[in-house]
Amino acid sequence: MPDVEAKLKELRIELPPPAQRPPTNPLVSSVRVGNLVWLSGHTSRTRGKLGRDLTADQGYEAARECAAGLLSSLKAEIGSLDGVRRVVKLLSMVNATEDFTDHPRVANGCSDVFVALWGDLGKHCRSAVGMASLPGGCAVEMEAIIEVEG
């Protein structure tokens, strides 16, 4: 399996620092149970509503931002992204107008990153849904379930 860190550089994706939550916060960015890691929702830095403020192409880029955040939290949890065995499931939440219908195209921003990194092992089940609003007015929020080496 090729080095995932090298592939990230080829894709021009820089991982942000892992999300830090205050000790009093009851939420965590990831939970590992056996060989599965559940990653909490990670939001895009891009703000705005798809169909009003942003195009589907801009939403696609926002979903790539979410991919970087998910990967950062995953790396913090397992140490190396080379330990991924399979991307199992993604949930994509798109801050969209009532008449926006390109949610899957937006979600592909994250899905395409995972497939570029892991090939067939990056292919996954996915839901892409529209939301009336998202935290902080972000454009996209993504969460994932990833199978990792034992």
Asked if residue 112 lies in contact with residue 128, where contact means CB atoms within 8 angstroms, the answer is: no
Query: And the tokens for 145?
Result: 């379930």
pLDDT of residue 20: 78
Q: For the chain, what are the domain ranges?
A: 45-148
Q: Each residue of 70-84: pLDDT tens digit?
A: 999 999 999 999 999
pTM attached to this predicted model: 0.94
CATH code that applies to domain 45-148: 3.30.1330.40
pLDDT of residue 2: 57
pLDDT of residue 1: 47
Q: Where are the beta strands (DSSP E) in the chain?
A: 30-33, 36-43, 84-95, 125-131, 140-148
| pLDDT of 127 higher than 80 | yes
pLDDT of residue 35: 97
| pLDDT of 50 higher than 60 | yes
